[in-house]
Amino acid sequence: MAYIKGISYYLPERVVTNDELLLEFPEWSVEKVATKVGVKSRHLAAVDETAGDMAEKAARKLFEEYNIDPKSIDFLMLCTQSPDYFLPSTACILQNRLGIPTSAGAFDYNLGCSGCVYGLVMAKGLIESGIAKNVLVLTAETYQKYLHPSDKSNRSIFGDGAAACLISTDGIAEIGNFSLGTDGSGADHLIVRTGASRCKQATGDVFEDMDGHLRFDDYLYMNGSAIFNFTLDAVPEMIKDILAKNKLESGDIDYFVFHQANKFMLNTIRKVCMLPKDKFYINLEETGNTVSSTVMIALKDCFDKNVIHPGMKVMITGFGVGLSWGGTILTF
């Protein structure tokens, strides 16, 4: 069996409020952003602050809060779509910076909104196969650096941040069985088209999508309506599959912690899936959508506020870029 032993997170110092965004987009409504998107402020990484820097800070907070000796870690993985370099792996650099033994394995994996869950999948496999005893799972993104200055929608939604989680042979929450899925036919719905091997040079191309939003090839593009529709198709079936694979009924779940995409989407999912409002976590007000870190940030906040406590069964899910999705049950 594999367990979560501790969780921590780091948010950059720079905070951008809705009022600040309004100075750039005076035609916009602060109330609309706060009500529909659910975000009042978000953290932005400094110009010289990378995903690797933030992951290191999250890991050091974890070590301090849970009295973890980095020399006890025998595997490290980092989920990021904004690595410090094309190569080497940022996880390898973090092994050295964090003082983790050279006998530990380390790698990056490129995944977004479902990345936290996929990290738990791999960590559980390493633990249960006997390959590792203490796996450090890190998530970190600087999506704000991928956004065009005029992209007011995504600038209001996304925030930068990092989370750290230790998976071990004992701990505070047993990790259950997983439901996973991938639909690469929707890759174009959330994409940065240039900069990597398929199209290395910036093009400067700008298009208008079917919803009338500008699509900049050299910056992050999200087809909001397509992602919304994908979520409404994938998440209800995923919930059923998670319950079936863990031999549970919906009424057995004490709390639901889903990827914090945006308030409107989460409320729609909750209503469609008929999940109790008082058992469903929504809180993006001060962080925004931190991509792969949202679930870990939410779980940590729930611990600190005693919303989640021993004896509870908690369903976690992630869904988005890829397109990909995944979920499991945590038993505290």
Q: Is the dihedral of CA 283, 284, 287, 293 positive or negative?
A: positive
Q: Do 97 and 10 belong together in one domain?
A: yes
Is 18 a catalytic site residue?
no
Q: Residue 259 catalytic?
A: yes
Q: Annotated catalytic residue: which of 113, 116, 165, 302?
A: 113
Question: DSSP assignment, residue 280?
Answer: B
- Report yes or no: 22 and 30 within 8 Å, Cβ to Cβ: yes
> Considering its fold, how many domains does the chain have in total?
2
Does residue 208 belong to any structural domain of this protein? no
Q: Is the domain of 278 the same as that of 156?
A: no
The residues that bridge with 258 in the sheet, in sequence order, are 317
Number of C-beta neighbours around residue 40 at 10 A:
16
Other C-beta atoms lying within 10 Å of the C-beta of residue 54: 31
Please give the structure tokens belonging to residue 129.
């196969």
Residue type, 202: A
Is 289 catalytic? The answer is yes
Give the residue ranges of DSSP H helices in the chain: 18-24, 30-32, 51-66, 90-97, 115-128, 152-157, 224-245, 263-272, 294-304
Residue 289 inside a domain? The answer is yes
Domain shared by 23 and 101, yes or no: yes
Which of 143, 171, 199 is the last residue before a domain boundary? 171
Domain of residue 323, residue span: 179-187+222-331
Q: What is the pLDDT along the chain (332 residues), one digit of tens a residue?
A: 999 999 999 999 999 999 999 889 888 777 777 788 899 999 999 999 999 999 999 999 999 999 999 999 999 999 999 999 999 999 999 999 999 999 999 999 999 999 999 999 999 999 999 999 999 999 999 999 999 999 988 999 999 999 999 999 999 999 999 999 999 999 999 999 999 999 999 999 998 887 777 889 899 999 989 999 999 999 999 999 999 999 999 999 999 999 999 999 999 999 999 999 999 999 999 999 999 999 999 999 999 999 999 999 999 999 999 999 999 999 99
Q: Any idea what DSSP says for residue 133?
A: S
Question: Of residues 18, 154, 262, 289, which has the active-site annotation?
Answer: 289
Give me the half-sphere count of Cα atoms (radius 13 Å) on the Cβ side of residue 312: 17
- Looking at the fold, whether 31 and 145 belong to one and the same domain comes out as yes
Buried b (16+ CB within 10 A) or exposed e, 151-166: bbbbbbbbbbbbbbbb
How far the first Cα of the chain sits from its last, in Å, is: 13
Domain shared by 114 and 247, yes or no? no
Catalytic residue (choose from 154, 223, 259, 302): 259
pTM of the model: 0.95
